[in-house]
Structure 1
Amino acid sequence: MIAERAPVLVGVGQVRGNRDRTVAGAREPLRLLADAVHAAAADACETGTRLLRELDAISLTHVASWAYDDLAGRLAERLAAAPTHTVAASLGGHWPAALLDAAAARIAAGETRIELVAGAEAAASTAVLARAGVDPGADLGWTIDPGGPTPIGPDEMGSPAMVAAGIALPRRFYPMVDTALGHALGEEPAETIAAGAELFAALSAVAADNPFAWNPVARSASEIARVGPDNRMVGEPYTLGMTAMPLVDQSAALLLTSVAVAREHGVAEERMVHVWGGAGSDDAPDVLARADLAGSPALCAAFDRALAAAGLASEEIDVVDVYSCFPVVPRLAARYLGLPPSAVTGATGGHSAFGGPLSSYTLHALAACAERIRAGARTALVHANGGHLTRQHAVVLGREAHVDGYVGDPVPHSVAEPGPPLCAAEGEVTVEAATVEYDRDGLPAQAFLVALTQDGERVAGCTAEGDAASARALTLFPDGPAAAPGPAVVGRRVRVGWVGDRIQVDPAR
């Protein structure tokens, strides 16, 4: 019975749309979604449309580029399906792995027979249409109930303390973690930058061979690290080439069933990819309440539990695909797994080169890893990251069934540990993490700081825009971003003061 109920991926479908960014090429997310689902059905077997009609469950990742009242219901209507279970996930990059894991658990338990996990984004097209003055609903017939880009609520941006400190945006938070990690590892800033550039160069080489990649061009590490007109500094230590590209039109769909049902539908044995199971872990949503900003206990715990359940060591995994919105995430993963950075670049291509369709990116990673297993790999470990290194989920796929069938635990475990109390102190502090953000003209715009007082309390804040003196006190590039970086900022003592709700920073005397 365990072998018959073992969950398997039987169909994967991916779509890349409107790469030329034209008004005529724009497709709304619902259509992209349906196209990917039909591709997954065709990939599964000759009677794949029958699989769709018999769907028990549809789980969808969050769509940010267009709003829907009941996207799963609208999709089911297009597929002539009548699922009894639907999930509309909230914002978060961890959801593809978590949804797949939960679907596999239901199939293994006999609660469902056939499940669909899918997602889509059309942010490239919505941007093109906005610039052209085209109304997607009125002019192109996109869904208008409710329609329009999905608003992101304040609770999804981070805690009030994070918002007040200006670090709720991922492009500010993740580089700060990398500065803290670099200090913890004893790296000079030039080494941190080189490590990130080498990782993203390796990812671009993977994307270059991926037909669904948004930017399928291999780039060198020096090209990614070098600051120039087409590769400005975004937030130290990250150039544009080391940041996610969310303005893409991409969709992916995964069809999941049991071995028994797959055989009923004529799916070839060699097309079945076994979902061994996974594990999830959560950290404190408020990053300023965490014990340490230089790592991710949740990431470590998710890997630990997923690999332990699978009975595998990290070096036994053939393909490791790690969420790669910014270099610090695969850097953390590689170090914890004890693998060289090149070993975690997987099968997709990363958010910069492949594209970063927000919450649905890891659907593409799961599809790409399934294809690698069909091509001969024995096992794959797929990692997904949500929020501010907040929610982590890892899933193990296999060419053969696990001896114990499904061995996952889709319910996330909390690993949050209390951190230093937050205060608004003035005077000398020690930098814990920092970044300087640049504007589109390549000039320093604003600095962001997290620091510790002599009493062990935490101070966090952002400078006023245009406060060049504070930016100079925290920058890695005293001679400008096109020059070589200077010494590390983290660990340095500086003096802070407050003007209203903005922090001022001076070198310590």
Structure 2
Amino acid sequence: MSPRDVVIIGAGQLRNNRERDFDSATEPLELILRAAAASAEDAGVGAAELSGVDLVAAVQIVSWSYADDACVVAERLGATDARCVTSGAGGHQPVAMLQHIAGRIAEGEAELALLCGGEAQSSLEMFQRADAEIPWSRDPGGPGKFDRAVGGTERMWDLGLVGPIRIYPLFENRLRYELGQSFAEAQDWSARMYSEFSAVAAGNEAAWNPVPRTPEEIATVGPKNRMICFPYPLLMNATAKVDQAAALLVASAETADRLGVPESKRIHVLSAASGSDCEDVLERPTFGASAGMAGALDRALDGAGLGMSDVDVLDLYSCFPVVPKLGSLHLKATGRALSATGGLTSFGGAHNNYSSHALVAVTRELRRTGGTGLVYANGEYVTKHSATVLSGRARPEGFVASEAIGTPQTVRVVDHYIGEAVVETYTVEYDREAEPARGYVVASLPGGGRTGVRVSKKDTYTLGELVSQDREPIGRTGRITESDGRRTFALEGAA
């Protein structure tokens, strides 16, 4: 046993108020405290031991505002001497926080830590729709931190190309093109994968939508599964309106011994790695791959001294189908189960905190079966990446961490270009009447570089061609013009 050995000793999670009942509505802090108590009970140490944690790492709460998420949790636990760390925004943060915790424990700077996060977005919106007073504690900042969660550069905001629903389809459509797939083939892959995730969620007690769905249900567009942004209907989008919380107790091996935690409960954190791509999506060198994702996955496996063939349990972040597609393609794992949790559509996408639940799910599975697990978490717009390797077996090296390396590559973006351009990727956003409302095109320019541009709702020809299931729009030529200070793109043949 290495002095750098770091182990997860307790894992707890919960779902609350699926029935959307006012009396059951509970603020995120209370949900987190329940999950923390569950993690202590799971470790067999009792909730009283939580007052002895010396590090509290909280995943940033989005649905409700506290002065400092981690410090509020520590105060309520009675952990008065604990160091407190609250993450920034992004779905990668649970794994990034685990990397931080494991590093501190491995260096002897902490002995017992709590990783926690929770959301109550569903209950919050229930109160807001009823225009009812919300009986939760808060700081003067008021409820909600969506401004921190959306991200994007000034260029992206000017274009309106912000929000996950608009950006992830850009990667999906380009990946389909680069793989030489038809629309039907790409959608079938997405639907089969998400159907498998729904079956996993059906067996997870904290899942928000624990209903197995067939690939046909997921792929078929209709009143209950309307198109959001092409090519993703509702059942291929993350579900953010959930009340969920998760917590993990992480300790040094010596502390686990002192607490009497049996070996069968200990899951060793072998390695963790992070990576990033450039913040501005329009500057990405490609939309069919992610260098930051690939680097984080590779370095996490290398740090553990393992290859993908050594991994028994896998959970790849799945806010939209393209993310697990990119991960599985890089890992050469397309024929494997890609989620131990159930995915962000069926299990639930608790804003930044989904991968805390993934860590719970993989911990439980490794306790049951032994072996090794890999958890990958994605933040922003395939921008921030964190991966960790967990195992039921210790190793002499203990925990090994790898930080992001290098500067992400970029391409030149021409913001005010007018003239001929070629579709590189695109999406079309639909309104609630199931009609195309606007389009977004990323276009390659004749002199090199690219630009981002919108498609007018009035241009029914271009919008119709972009959402055609029979003719590939990528690679087609069009023209960018300007009117009243706004540039728009129209394919050749548009009136």
Please give the TM-score of this superposition, normalised by the length of structure 1.
Answer: 0.94
Q: In the alignment, is residue 22 of structure 1 matched against residue 21 of structure 2?
A: yes
Q: Give the C-alpha shift of residue 254 in structure 1.
A: 0.7
3-state SS of 2:193 partner: helix
1:12 equivalent in structure 2: 11
Counterpart of 1:44?
A: 43
**Shift in alpha-carbon separation, 1:466–1:244, aligned structure 2, 3 A:** farther
Does residue 418 (structure 1) correspond to residue 410 (structure 2)? The answer is yes
Query: CA offsets per residue over residues 128-172 of structure 1, 9 Å max, x none?
Result: 011112121xxx243354331224159x52011111222221101
C-alpha distance in 2 between matches for 1:292 and 1:48: 50
* 1:7-406 aligned within 5 A: 7-45=6-44, 47-136=45-134, 140-153=135-148, 156-344=150-338, 346-406=339-399
Q: Please report how far the alpha carbon of residue 86 of structure 1 lies from its aligned counterpart in structure 2 after TM superposition.
A: 1.1
Aligned to 2:337, the other structure's residue is in SS state helix
Matches of 1:175 and 1:242, distance apart in 2: 10
For residues 202 and 318 of structure 1, what CA distance do their matches in structure 2 show? 17
For the 8 Å contact 1:157–1:163, the answer to whether it is kept is no
Q: Rate the CA distance shift 1:159–1:442 in 2: closer, same or farther, 3 A.
A: same
Give the partner amino acid of 1:175: P
Deviation of residue 77 (structure 1)? 2.0
CA distance 1:389–1:374, shift in 2 (3 Å): same
Displacement after TM superposition at 1:262 (Å): 0.6
Q: Does residue 488 of the first structure (1) align with residue 472 of the second (2)?
A: yes
3-state SS, counterpart of residue 281 of structure 1: strand
Structure 2 counterpart of 1:481: none
Specify the SS of the correspondent of 1:343: coil
TM-score by length of 2: 0.96
CA distance in 2, matches of 1:12, 1:234: 35
> Offset of 1:494 from its aligned partner?
1.8
What does the per-residue CA deviation read over 1:248-273, in whole Å, with 9 as the maximum and x for residues that have no partner? 00000011001111111111110011
Q: Does structure 2 retain, via aligned residues, the 8 Å contact 1:270–1:374? A: yes
Kept in 1, the 8 Å contact 2:12–2:246? The answer is yes
- Larger mean CA deviation between 91-100 and 453-462 belongs to 453-462
* In 2: Cα distance, 1:228 partner to 1:101 partner: 42
After superposition, the C-alpha distances for 1:33-61 in whole angstroms (9 at most, x for unaligned) are 1111111111111x333431111111111
RMSD: 1.6
- Contact 1:21-1:124 at 8 Å conserved across structures: yes
> How far has the Cα of 1:341 moved from its partner?
4.8
Structure 1 counterpart SS, 2:297: helix
> Which structure 2 residue ranges, 5 or more long, are not aligned?
none
Q: Give the Å deviation of 1:463.
A: 2.9
* C-alpha distance in 2 between matches for 1:340 and 1:472: 32
Q: Partner letter of residue 80 of structure 2?
A: A
Q: Aligned partner of 1:56: which letter?
A: D
**What amino acid does structure 2 have at the position aligned with 1:91?**
A
Counterpart-to-counterpart distance in 1, 2:51 and 2:348: 31
Q: What amino acid is aligned across from residue 142 of structure 2 in structure 1?
A: G
- The alignment partner of 2:56 has SS state of strand
Structure 2 counterpart SS, 1:301: helix
Give yes or no for contact 2:27–2:136 (8 Å, CA) kept in 1.
Answer: no
Q: Identify which range, 233-242 or 145-154, moves more after superposition.
A: 145-154
Residue aligned with 2:375, SS: strand
State the aligned residue count: 493
Structure 2 residue 482 is matched with structure 1 residue 498: yes
Residues 357-416 of structure 1, C-alpha deviations (whole Å, 9 max, x = no match): 01011000000000001101300000000011111010000001123111222x333451
Kindly state the Cα deviation for residue 71 of structure 1 after the two structures are TM-superposed: 2.3
Fraction of identical pairs, as percent: 37
Is it true that 1:430 corresponds to 2:422 in the alignment? yes
1:160 alignment partner AA: E
Question: Does 2:483 align with 1:475?
Answer: no
Please tell me whether the aligned partners of residues 319 and 369 of structure 1 are also in contact (alpha carbons under 8 angstroms).
Answer: yes
Does structure 2 retain, via aligned residues, the 8 Å contact 1:282–1:414?
no
Alignment partners' CA distance in 1, 2:59 and 2:485: 36
Structure 1 residue 428, shift from structure 2 partner:
2.2
Q: Deviations over 1:266-307 (max 9, x none)?
A: 111100110112100011101111211221110000011011
Distance of 1:98 and 1:414 partners within structure 2: 18
The 2-side partners of 1:204 and 1:106 are apart by 36
Secondary structure at the residue paired with 1:302? helix
Shift of residue 176 of structure 1?
Answer: 1.0
Task: Report Cα offsets for 1:209-264 as digits up to 9, x if no partner.
Answer: 11110000111111100011100011111110100000000000011001111111
Paired residue type of 1:249: D
Q: Deviations over 1:172-210 (max 9, x none)?
A: 100111101111111111211111111111111111111
Runs of 4+ in 1 over 4 A off after TM superposition: none
Letter in 2 for 1:402: R
